[in-house]
Amino acid sequence: MAIEIIATGRAIPPTRLTNDDLAMKLDTSDEWIRSHTGICARHIADEDTACSNLALEAARQALTMVVQQEGGSGNETQDLVDVALTLDVIILGTATPDYLGCPSTACVVQDKLGARNAAALDITAGCSGFIYGLEIAAGLLGTGSRRKRALVIGSEILSRFVDWTDRGMCILFGDGAGAAIVEKTENPGLTKRGLLRTILGADGSGTEHLIMRRGGSRNPYKTGELVGVPPHIEMNGQAVYNFAVKRVTETIEKLLSQENITIDDVSRIVPHQANARIVQAAGKRLGIPEEKFFLNIKEYANTSAASIPIALDELNRAGSLQKGDLIMTIGFGGGLTYGGNLIIW
């Protein structure tokens, strides 16, 4: 038995906000942002777009890939519904859901897809959400389960939850969604494929380092307070940087040692796209050449749980992933959480 990624998709809002655009409103510059983060632009959703809208588009892209693989009737709408009906579970990682508490954004997506046979749930693991989601999907599809196919999505509208007057924070984030369809397949013989190994971890002592403080039961809005003001992301940048470099380094080392392989066996490392300097620092500590890492932060900035599936879809559609390639994903985020997957494509 193997748990394989059989299709991918992504959704990127068309509105592109460059560093130069921000420099017209804030005391910053393109050169400063590039040199400190590796970011050149980010994409911003319009006011009518919610987390579920981007998730739905990414999911449909992935479903369309399955239709193309399996051959459809030629009726695109019906073909997408037919494939959606084969989904047994929808897992959606997000820090920016449509609604607080309920309903889950995954349920909104399930309804709009017409995937009425699928269970649906959101997970809150910050920027590690897609890595957590893949492992949860693998568990739900595992040996003894009648479930066969899962949709794993990372989707974020982070632009709604940043303080656009805070030049140290608003430059970092963008909106987007990525999706993958995961399927349980027969794996005769000794050939390994699919999701090979996952490491998941958390350090709850770092909750204060990356937090959206307002709006929950710990600190709800009170009657008479300003209506319509969302909670803002607050971050202790140095603490998160130190955590990220340490955990990325450790997770890469553990994934390699547990599978008794070397970095030369890995075709690509797809990290969470938070800050290019984090990736560079981790790579330098481990002696990994920078070209081994796939970075698209230049165009999209930090899209949290969406960043890894967006990157996977870019690689997949560009033909940069070949069957049998060993791929490593690495992530870290609010919680604080971290993790990584080894995947044979």
Give mean pLDDT, residues 31-35: 95
Domains in the chain, number? 2
- Tens digit of pLDDT for each residue in 181-229? 999 987 655 567 899 999 999 999 999 999 988 888 888 777 766 656 6
Q: Which two tokens stand for residue 275?
A: 């800050």
Instruction: Note if 40 is an active site residue.
Output: no
135 and 262 housed in the same domain: no
177 and 53 housed in the same domain: yes
Instruction: Note if 51 is an active site residue.
Output: no
Smallest CA-to-CA distance from 21 within 301, 212, 303 is with: 301
219 and 160 housed in the same domain: no
C-beta separation of 249 from 213 below 8 A: no
76 and 159 housed in the same domain: yes
* pLDDT higher than 80, residue 264: yes
Query: Which residue among 185, 206, 230 closes a domain?
Result: 185
Of the residues 51, 127, 170, 316, which is catalytic? 127
94 and 167 housed in the same domain: yes
- Tens digit of pLDDT for each residue in 37-69? 999 999 999 999 999 999 999 999 999 999 999
56 and 102 housed in the same domain: yes
100 and 220 housed in the same domain: no
Q: How far apart (Å, rounded) are the C-alpha atoms in residues 14 and 304? A: 18
* Residue 52: partners with Cβ closer than 8 Å, 6 or more residues away: 98, 105, 108, 109, 112, 155
Instruction: Note if 102 is an active site residue.
Output: no
Q: Which residues of 177-189 are buried (b: 16+ CB within 10 A; e: fewer)?
A: bbbbbbbbeeeee
Residue holding tokens 């066996």?
Answer: 265
- What is the domain extent for residue 19? 2-185
Of the residues 272, 275, 316, 341, which is catalytic? 272
Instruction: Label the pairing between strands 119-123 and 89-93.
Output: parallel
Q: How far apart (Å, rounded) are the C-alpha atoms in residues 235 and 332? A: 14
pTM of the model: 0.95
234 and 124 housed in the same domain: no
Q: How far apart (Å, rounded) are the C-alpha atoms in residues 289 and 285? A: 10
210 and 181 housed in the same domain: no
Of the residues 19, 302, 316, 341, which is catalytic? 302
Mean residue pLDDT of the chain comes to: 94
